[in-house]
Amino acid sequence: AQSVTQLDSHVSVSEGTPVLLRCNYSSSYSPSLFWYVQHPNKGLQLLLKYTSAATLVKGINGFEAEFKKSETSFHLTKPSAHMSDAAEYFCVVSDRVGTGRRALTFGSGTRLQVQP
Amino acid sequence: EAQVTQNPRYLITVTGKKLTVTCSQNMNHEYMSWYRQDPGLGLRQIYYSMNVEVTDKGDVPEGYKVSRKEKRNFPLILESPSPNQTSLYFCASSFMPGQGDTEAFFGQGTRLTVV
């Protein structure tokens, strides 16, 4: 069975400082991994995805993530936080869990606060 | 513009009164699914559909029904809503596995309150 653990439920940073949101996963197969962002009262927007190509993945708005198979991690980073980055972030693993079924398993989310 | 459209965005209803939340996508995706989002639990899959007339249970299907009569539409039906179904619901669509592991596209969400 696949699972996703987001290690921090809340992260607070100052504007202009680096962001690190941590994610560990488990999967029986070779998963695809995603980070989604959810702004207040909005739907989920894809930030970036890993699908077994380059292990360092660049996404929108300056975010990137590195897939580390040995550590089963897919941490999200950004060099310099902006006020508009304040949102909830979800790490997601996508894998086949049976005949035809593709399951997206979500982490419980990390709420990022950016202080001025 | 590629999008998944859910309606309504907000709904308050009473226990036992049947309701339907609609979902429509314009990307010709085969795969559609419904999720509910609850604090501290992330998103959990309710039902999914691999194509027209093909649906199956996800992780938390109790109290819900779905139908897939057309490729673009995937409504979520609560025959007799109860307060524990108060939640934020998302519809998602994507291409099928094996056609490239593309991402899922999500609707804007429906906030349902059952009193």
Instruction: Tell me what pLDDT residue A101 has.
Output: 66
| B20 Cα to chain A: minimum distance (Å) | 19
At residue A99, the pLDDT reads 66
| Cα A57 to Cα A67: distance, rounded to the nearest angstrom | 8
Q: What is the pLDDT of residues B69-81, one digit of tens each?
A: 999 999 999 999 9
B contacts of A32 (beta carbons < 8 Å): 101
A106–B101 C-beta distance less than 8 A: no
- Best residue of A8, A30, A33, A44 to probe chain B, by most B CBs closer than 10 Å: A44
Q: Report d(CA B38, CA B43) in Å as an integer.
A: 7
The reported pLDDT for the residue numbered A111 is 95
- Using the Cβ of A84 and the Cβ atoms of chain B, whether some distance falls under 8 Å is answered with no
**From CA A103, how far away is CA A101, in angstroms rounded?**
6
Would you place residue A54 in the very low, low, confident or very high pLDDT band (cuts 50, 70, 90)? Answer: confident
- With 80 as the cut, is the pLDDT of residue B35 above it? yes
List the single residue in B35, B59, B97 with the smallest CB-CB distance to A96. B97
DSSP B50-113: EETTEEEE-S--TT-EE--SSTTB--EEESS--GGG-EEEEEEEEPPTTS--PPPEE---EEEE
Give the up-direction half-sphere exposure of residue B35: CA atoms within 13 A in the CB hemisphere. 24
Mean pLDDT (whole number) for B89-100 = 78
- With cut-offs at 50, 70 and 90, classify the pLDDT of residue A97: low
Average pLDDT in the B70-94 region? Answer: 96
Q: Supply the mean pLDDT for chain B.
A: 92
Query: How far is Cα B105 from Cα B115, in angstroms, rounded to an integer?
Result: 30
CA–CA separation, A36 and A45 (whole Å)? 5
